[in-house]
Structure 1
């Protein structure tokens, strides 16, 4: 019985501490993480763009697979824009991200929303649906980049 109680307490403490341990040990680790997440998302988004723009033939399965990855990756980088990560010289993030965090969060939430719609649109197997959803997602990216990313 004592062993069960110990395990239960340990599991509870681990669950409470997990969010804290999920933080990055160093600011440069957070910067690398978000840059890599955004890079991977951009690679898969670019494949969708090539189909939407007629540069490569439309393949419904490839589109759906890439859109699903974009939707997943769109959820990842935002936790890595924490305090102290604005001081890293290897970032294209504008300082306004940390002074207008609510606005930045609105943009990141919008990307998650639009990329989810993109993934759903590609599952229809319809190129026109891909084009419409791709354009909306690309516009969301552009608006955020214009406001929060240096060239």
Structure 2
């Protein structure tokens, strides 16, 4: 094995064994990561919610696309909540109540996944119902853990 391949293999091994939050150069990068992914997720969800409540014309294909994108994005920000990444709009309770935070985050991930599945059916009434429960799961986490 040549030296470059050996170095690449060693770097990969180190990155796989490092804590998840270590992927960020500093706490501000972690905060930016979680804020940007949650913002983009919210924008996609808001478009579907707007269709569900009549603010925007209903487009089944767009609802399915935006719901799936939101379901994919909501899985991403959690690595940005590692030890030492306090700040932003996140309350300090996140780092004190990790089990509750994980429970609420997992519930939001599950509900967003359900919305994506429902949106694929194109049934507006079902989407409306799912938007309500999905929004409530996001609100529960925000009420407990967001300033």
- Tell me the TM-score normalised to structure 2 length: 0.89
Paired with 1:81 and 1:126, the residues of 2 have a C-alpha distance of 36
Paired with 1:44 and 1:137, the residues of 2 have a C-alpha distance of 13
The total of aligned residue pairs comes to 144
Match of 1:55 in 2: 55
Cα deviation for residue 18 of structure 1 reads 3.0
- Tell me the TM-score normalised to structure 1 length: 0.87
Paired with 1:68 and 1:16, the residues of 2 have a C-alpha distance of 33
Deviations 1:42-76 (A, max 9, x none): 11111011101011111100000000110001100
Unaligned runs of 5+ in 1: none
Aligned match for 1:117, one of 99, 114, 118? 114
Q: Secondary structure at the match of 2:85?
A: coil
Show the 5 A alignment for 1:4-15.
11=9, 14-15=12-13
Unaligned runs of 5+ in 2: none
Cα deviation for residue 19 of structure 1 reads 5.5
1:18 paired to 2:16: yes
Instruction: Tell me: CA distance 1:30–1:125, structure 2 relative to 1, closer, same or farther (3 Å).
Output: same
1:147 paired to 2:144: yes
Q: After TM superposition, which residue ranges in structure 1, 4 or more long, deviate above 3 angstroms?
A: 6-13
Cα deviation for residue 8 of structure 1 reads 8.9
C-alpha root-mean-square deviation of aligned residues, in Å? 2.1
Match of 2:75 in 1: 75
